[in-house]
Amino acid sequence: MARISAFENAQSQLEKALGFVKISDDAKKVLRKPNEIIEVSIPVRMDSGDLEVFTGFRVHYNDYRGPCKGGIRYHPDVSLDEVKALSLWMTFKCAVVNIPFGGSKGGVVVNPKELSNQELEKLSRAYIDSIYNFIGPDTDIPAPDVYTNEIIMGWMADEYNKINRRLTPAVITGKPLSMGGSQGREAATGRGGFFVLNEAARILKLHPEDTTVALQGFGNVGYNIARFLHGAGYKVVAVSDSKGGIYHTHGIDPDVTMDTKKKDGKMGECICSGSISACRKAEHVTCAKCNCGEIGQITNEELLELDVDILVPAALENQITKENADNIKAKLVVEMANGPTTGEADEVLNEKGIFVIPDILANAGGVTVSYFEWVQNRAGFYWSQDEVNEKLETIMQREFKNVHDIKEKEKVDMRTAAYILALGRISEAVAAKGTREYFMKSESRSS
């Protein structure tokens, strides 16, 4: 199967939304291309004594609304195309939740599961050495993404501080609490997704106790949203990670599953090297709950097509494609991953009447609390977990309503509505620097 370009997918989403809004040609021109791209070669002395040179990227997509903001991904499939797509989505995500940031993204081509913790630390510090001039609290603020986490953010912030010769906590978010991290940041993406999922469930009249959920990806985002859903009474019947998944008709307890994954799956100190499929032999997942024995293995492909009420892709891009979109049975898809649905698949889901909460809204809780962390770092004044969660809930519910109102008014899908909302906000920032009309008038004044 030909691999779909993530950036082409992101661009086609943007072009579709541009067809529905009246914004200046200036804004359209600015938004079609990334501002700046950097590619770096990162030499690291490995434990074996060999020198490995890793490839890394950082893309600033747009900073009209504020400093660029975007995570750093470690994955063997990272490419410039993917990083560009993720940086475009970040630009629109920050505008959807109306936080004063532009969009960026970074990535390193590496399988972190194959590195020792020492190698991982060296690579993380060396990546910051390479991109030091490209980031900063007023220019571009990184955060965690796939296979990076708060320990890695801590090393990166520390490296930046060493080069800068002063403590600059606001340069990176998603740091450990003891280094200026925010309460609630680790679970924020999952929590934000849970808030908007509840809003959609209300519209679709789905009651938690009668609602089944299948969830692809069991990392930071997948595990946390699973916890919140389970706690609210939803039945999470299937979860998976890169190696496969488990299915249980009576519902899975995400904490038991995570404990099992950690115990059986050789969880590294800071990078998950285990797998949910280790739970296959964990009979106690079933027995402790209901003794029904209705637990089984499931592939990632099967999970997506399960007969459930809600499907939550929380792993990587391009999971729902034209090949499987017609087989999706869920009534609600909550895109916790970035770009999990291709453009062609999106059309199919819309035709089938499936309600999709798009990634740029569904997973915006993470960047929202990253913004809170940046604000707290700059103020030197820290908030309680309750304050963080309340502010997050207010923003997610408000912007869900804004997007849904546009959907109803313009008779478009939720993704297009989210882009329309974001485009309006970004184009105001473009226009604030002067419009064609303004400059042509001043030309005639001076003549």
Tell me which residues are annotated as active site: 105
Q: Is the dihedral of CA 126, 132, 134, 136 positive or negative?
A: positive
User: Which helix (H) or strand (E) is 347 found in, with range?
Assistant: helix 343-351
Nearest distance in Å: CB 288, ligand NAD = 23
Strand pairing class (244-248; 295-298) = antiparallel
Using rule CB under 6 A, residue 318 touches ligand NAD: no
Using rule CB under 6 A, residue 396 touches ligand NAD: no
Selected from 104, 338, 368, 376, the binder of ligand NAD by CB under 6 A is: 338
User: From residue 215 to residue 244, what is the string marking binding to ligand NAD with x (rule CB under 6 A)?
Assistant: -xxxxxxx-----------------xxx--
Using rule CB under 6 A, residue 422 touches ligand NAD: no
- Of 316 and 421, which CB lies nearer to ligand NAD in the complex structure? 316
Using rule CB under 6 A, residue 107 touches ligand NAD: no
Rounded Cα distance between 447 and 444, Å, is 5
Kindly state the DSSP code that residue 279 receives in the 8-state scheme: G
Selected from 123, 316, 349, 395, the binder of ligand NAD by CB under 6 A is: 316
Using rule CB under 6 A, residue 184 touches ligand NAD: no
- Of 27 and 316, which CB lies nearer to ligand NAD in the complex structure? 316
Q: Which long-range contacts (CB under 8 A, 24 or more apart) does 229-235 make?
A: 229/194, 229/197, 230/254, 232/194, 232/198, 232/208, 233/208, 233/209, 234/208, 234/310, 235/209, 235/211
How many beta carbons lie within 10 A of that of residue 385, not counting itself? 11
Nearest distance in Å: CB 96, ligand NAD = 12
- Of 146 and 214, which CB lies nearer to ligand NAD in the complex structure? 146
Rounded Cα distance between 349 and 343, Å, is 10
Q: What is the DSSP string of 79-146?
A: -HHHHHHHHHHHHHHHHHTT-S--EEEEEEE--GGGS-HHHHHHHHHHHHHHHGGG-BTTTEEEEE-T
* Residue ranges in 116-155 that form contacts with ligand NAD under rule CB under 6 A: 144-147
- Of 82 and 413, which CB lies nearer to ligand NAD in the complex structure? 82
Using rule CB under 6 A, residue 90 touches ligand NAD: no
Using rule CB under 6 A, residue 392 touches ligand NAD: no
- Of 41 and 299, which CB lies nearer to ligand NAD in the complex structure? 299
- Of 103 and 144, which CB lies nearer to ligand NAD in the complex structure? 144
Q: Which of 95, 194, 168 is nearest to 428 (CA)?
A: 95
Selected from 131, 171, 314, 403, the binder of ligand NAD by CB under 6 A is: 314
Nearest distance in Å: CB 182, ligand NAD = 12
Using rule CB under 6 A, residue 183 touches ligand NAD: no
170 burial (CB, 10 Å; 0-12 / 13-18 / 19+) is buried
Rounded Cα distance between 197 and 310, Å, is 9
Residue number of the CB closest to ligand NAD reads 219
Which stretch in 196-204, 322-330, 334-342, 428-436 sits in contact with ligand NAD by CB under 6 A? Answer: 334-342
Which stretch in 11-19, 23-31, 277-285, 331-339 sits in contact with ligand NAD by CB under 6 A? Answer: 331-339
Using rule CB under 6 A, residue 260 touches ligand NAD: no
* Residue ranges in 284-303 that form contacts with ligand NAD under rule CB under 6 A: 300
329 burial (CB, 10 Å; 0-12 / 13-18 / 19+) is middle
Strand pairing class (140-144; 295-298) = unpaired
Q: Which residues of 414-429 are buried (b: 16+ CB within 10 A; e: fewer)?
A: bbbbbbbbbbeebbeb
Instruction: Answer whether 356's CB lies under 8 Å from 152's CB.
Output: no
442 vs 427, 430, 431, CA distance in Å? 21, 18, 15
Nearest distance in Å: CB 314, ligand NAD = 5
Nearest distance in Å: CB 144, ligand NAD = 5
- Name the site residues for ligand NAD (rule: CB under 6 A): 144-147, 189, 216-222, 240-242, 300, 314-316, 336-338, 363, 366
